[in-house]
Amino acid sequence: MTNRCEWAEASDNMREYHDKEWGVIEHDDHYLYEMLMLELFQSGLSWQTILNKRDNFRSAFDNFDIEIIKDYNDNKVSTLMRDTGIIRNKLKINAAIVNARMISDMHKNNQTFDSFVWSFTNKKRIMNHYQTSSEVPSFDELSTEISKAMKKRGFKFVGPTTIYSFLQASGVINDHIDSCDFK
């Protein structure tokens, strides 16, 4: 039998996400943007809801292509607001566009979103040691620091809780519980 973090046993797609993605180090800006987007849209909702709609998000948001999304206009926003396959929140949709612009600007300045994020940990992964998922915090000093830095750069909808979840998802923070086989 495979030991997993408790939350992963909620459904097949939660198990698959847990086993193949959550906490796995990823350095690709395209993937990191996708995870930031999904975490942004998850705010106030369950992760299960986001996973159920993930393919719809990919389709609606041009496979999370930063260079396409940064140029979305009011017509595209209106189209997205009518798309029942995604979370239709105008503030979140606009934040996704702004955040694509911020990452695109980094690229124009020969920077990556990846290097920006990892600079806060000196390129070292944070390994936390929790016995149960209930011990895992929703945010910490690091996510608060990164959130402030991102907001200062112009990113939107990137509060400390959203950023903490993003850091977990992208492998910067490993919050698999100690008994989890995926630690």
Which residues are known catalytic residues? Answer: 17, 39, 47
Give yes or no for a contact between 105 and 122, defined as CB atoms under 8 angstroms apart: no
**Separation in Å, CA 5 to CA 26, 70, 101, 102:** 20, 36, 35, 34
Give yes or no for a contact between 104 and 70, defined as CB atoms under 8 angstroms apart: yes
Distance from C-alpha of 17 to C-alpha of 166, rounded to nearest angstrom: 14
3: helix, strand or coil: coil
Q: Which of 105, 134, 116, 133 is nearest to 172 (CA)?
A: 116
Distance from C-alpha of 33 to C-alpha of 58, rounded to nearest angstrom: 12
Dihedral angle over CA of 107, 34, 58, 89, nearest 10: -100
Distance from C-alpha of 81 to C-alpha of 90, rounded to nearest angstrom: 7
